[in-house]
């Protein structure tokens, strides 16, 4: 067929190919209104997605305001160099003077030197490793059996590390002729993690005992203690606290202290109500609400006679969303000291946006923090969810899987699918029409070619007759 189209008009000497292209363009224009309508619906789908994103930002911000723990937030500060401090949900306001007299450290034991890493030490035996305090109260313990071929420094090191009791074994070299030394270190700090090593060997053998035995309860044995186990010792507001670890979670309620060095003088930790965190959460909410208003206004804008209308101009879905949000925000709260957002400095403006009055809000938070919390999160021990809870329910109706926006998107997608089917049927009709035109043009071209050939033949014959008459 392609070759037939490309040769159209040769037989008739007419521009049939150009005429067919013109007819095809005219037929294809029948699709334009449907394609324009489909593009409009796709733009609506995209606009619904933008609305969804803006509403989800409000949803996230309102959830933050609905958490009662937000209003108990504590800000912990300290210029201390001997420790770091962080506050948790249980922290309370206060001021604490902290003296660190000693930091916790892990015990370390070292053996006498050996000339080789892999040389057997005695005929093997059993090492019983245990962890405990100086009073001999043991914690974990493990027995390790060593054969003669596994009794070298390397063999002992590997066996201890594989036991996983909380003791790390390594080898150092002091550079002397017999410079290889086994080092045992407790993984944990504090006196409760002191190391003891008991050795049992075959009768008459003492090589392992003479190298590795140690009793932390008495401080005696073949190993030498190079670092003593120590508990951390500190004073908080004059109260003495001892800890096996340098990380203390309970020394101050709701705070974690991590010690790094001792102090010469007391270092101060202060914990105060974190009003900045609360205000930031409200500012985020106001910003999210205003962003939604800006998006809704842009999508429903009227562009006047010059066009430029918003994609969702006149869309009832946008109006319904805006009305439901305003309704939730303006619903009075029956429980608690405050009944409306405007009473704490958060108010809707005439242009639909929301504003935060810094002075009014700061005063409400400073003087009636509990009432602010009750307004937003609902009073304690009640089912009331406050303004944030009501907003959360409203927003779920709007952006949830079965919400208003989901229904609007579904309806638009169905219309797009319907247009797809109509376009497909219409395209088939256009293709059939063009095919019919093409066949007709081919037939016309063939007929004209035949007529032209007949005409040429007759002209030739008449010319020959005239020539014969002239010859006579």
Helix count (H) and strand count (E) of the chain?
11, 19
pLDDT at 21: 73
346 φ, ψ (degrees, to nearest 5):
-110, 115
How many residues does this entry show for the chain? 472
Please say if the pLDDT value at position 262 is more than 80. yes
Q: How far is CA 156 from the centre of its chain?
A: 46
Q: Which DSSP letter does residue 105 get? A: B
Q: What percent of the chain shows pLDDT beyond 70?
A: 89
Count of beta carbons in the 10 Å neighbourhood of residue 112: 14
pLDDT at 5: 42
Q: What is the mean pLDDT of residues 9-13?
A: 56
Please say if the pLDDT value at position 467 is more than 80. no
For the chain, which residues make up each domain, given as ranges? 1-73+274-453, 74-104+232-273, 108-227
pLDDT band at 313; cut points 50, 70, 90? confident
- Contact partners, residue 25, CB within 8 Å, separation at least 6: none
* DSSP codes of every residue in 430-443: HHHHHHHHHHHHHH
234 in helix, strand or coil? Answer: strand
CA of 349: how far to CAs of 81, 290, 294, 329, in Å? 49, 11, 13, 12
pLDDT at 3: 42
Q: Which DSSP letter does residue 31 get? A: G
CA of 469: how far to CAs of 235, 460, 462, 466, in Å? 144, 15, 11, 5
pLDDT at 433: 78
pLDDT band at 265; cut points 50, 70, 90? very high
Q: 62 or 15: which carries more pLDDT confidence?
A: 62
pLDDT at 441: 67
Q: 177 or 427: which carries more pLDDT confidence?
A: 177
Give the span between the Cα atoms of 360 and 300, in whole angstroms: 33
Question: Is residue 108 within 8 Å of 185, Cβ to Cβ?
Answer: yes
pLDDT at 286: 97
Copy the structure tokens of residue 285. 């909410």
Question: Is residue 198 within 8 Å of 121, Cβ to Cβ?
Answer: no
pLDDT digits (tens, 9 = 90+) for 66-99: 998 898 888 899 999 999 999 887 888 999 999 9
Q: Which of 101-110, 290-299, 427-436 has the lowest mean pLDDT?
A: 427-436
Q: 415 or 116: which carries more pLDDT confidence?
A: 116
pLDDT band at 372; cut points 50, 70, 90? very high
Give the span between the Cα atoms of 435 and 363, in whole angstroms: 80
pLDDT digits (tens, 9 = 90+) for 339-348: 999 999 999 9
- Contact partners, residue 49, CB within 8 Å, separation at least 6: none
Largest alpha-carbon pair distance within the chain?
156
Give the span between the Cα atoms of 10 and 3, in whole angstroms: 12
Copy the structure tokens of residue 316. 């009832």
pLDDT at 11: 54
204 phi-psi bin (left φ>0, alpha ψ -120 to 50, beta other): left
Q: What percent of the chain shows pLDDT beyond 90?
A: 57
pLDDT at 256: 94
Q: 379-414: buried (b, 16+ CB within 10 Å) or exposed (e) per residue? A: beeeeebbbbbbbbebbeebbeeebbbeebbeebee
Most confident of 241-245, 301-305, 449-453: 241-245
pLDDT digits (tens, 9 = 90+) for 186-244: 999 999 999 999 999 999 899 999 999 999 989 999 999 999 999 999 999 999 999 99
pLDDT digits (tens, 9 = 90+) for 390-407: 999 999 999 988 889 888
Q: To 10 degrees, the CA torsion angle through 328, 333, 338, 343?
A: 30
Closest CA to 134 of 51, 229, 224: 229
Give the span between the Cα atoms of 276 and 188, in whole angstroms: 39
Q: What is the mean pLDDT of residues 41-54?
A: 87
């Amino acid at each position: 067929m392609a070759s037939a189209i490309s040769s159209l008009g040769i037989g008739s000497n007419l521009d049939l190919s150009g005429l067919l292209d013109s007819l095809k363009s005219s037929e294809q224009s029948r699709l334009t209104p449907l394609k324009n309508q489909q593009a409009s619906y796709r733009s609506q789908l995209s606009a619904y997605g933008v609305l969804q994103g803006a509403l989800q930002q409000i949803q996230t911000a309102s959830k933050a305001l609905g958490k009662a723990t937000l209003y108990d937030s504590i800000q912990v500060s300290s210029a201390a160099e001997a420790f770091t401090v962080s506050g948790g949900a249980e922290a309370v306001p206060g001021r604490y003077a902290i003296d660190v007299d000693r930091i916790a450290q892990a015990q370390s034991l070292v053996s006498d030197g050996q000339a080789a890493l892999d040389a057997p030490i005695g005929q093997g035996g059993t090492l019983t490793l245990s962890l405990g305090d100086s009073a001999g109260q043991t914690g974990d313990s493990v027995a390790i059996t060593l054969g003669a071929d596994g009794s070298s420094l390397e063999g002992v090191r590997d066996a201890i590390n594989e036991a996983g009791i909380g003791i790390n074994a390594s080898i150092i070299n002091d550079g002397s002729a017999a410079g290889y030394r086994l080092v045992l270190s407790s993984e944990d700090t504090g006196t409760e993690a002191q190391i003891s090593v008991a050795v049992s060997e075959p009768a008459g053998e003492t090589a392992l005992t003479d190298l590795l035995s140690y009793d932390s309860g008495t401080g005696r044995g073949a190993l030498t203690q190079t670092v003593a186990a120590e508990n951390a010792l500190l004073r908080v507001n004059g109260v003495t606290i001892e800890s096996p670890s340098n990380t203390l979670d309970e020394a101050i309620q709701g705070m974690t202290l991590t010690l790094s060095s001792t102090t010469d003088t007391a270092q101060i930790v202060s914990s105060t109500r974190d009003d900045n965190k609360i205000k930031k959460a409200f500012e985020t909410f106001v910003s999210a609400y205003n962003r939604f208003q800006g998006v809704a206004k842009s999508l429903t804008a009227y562009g006047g006679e010059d066009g430029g209308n918003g994609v969702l101009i006149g869309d009832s879905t946008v109006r319904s969303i805006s009305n439901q949000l305003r309704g939730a925000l303006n619903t009075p709260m029956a429980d608690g000291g405050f009944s409306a957002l405007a009473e704490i400095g958060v108010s809707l403006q005439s242009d639909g946006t929301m504003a935060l009055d810094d002075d009014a809000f700061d005063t409400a938070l400073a003087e009636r923090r509990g009432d602010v919390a009750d307004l937003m999160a609902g009073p304690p021990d009640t089912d009331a969810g406050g303004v944030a809870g009501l907003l959360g329910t409203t927003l779920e109706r709007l952006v949830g899987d079965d919400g208003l926006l989901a229904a609007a998107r579904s309806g638009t997608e169905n219309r797009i699918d319907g247009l797809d089917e109509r376009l497909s049927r219409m395209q088939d009709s256009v293709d059939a029409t063009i095919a019919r035109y093409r066949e007709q043009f081919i037939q016309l071209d063939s007929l004209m070619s035949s007529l032209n050939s007949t005409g040429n033949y007759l002209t030739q014959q008449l010319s020959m007759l005239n020539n014969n008459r002239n010859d006579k």
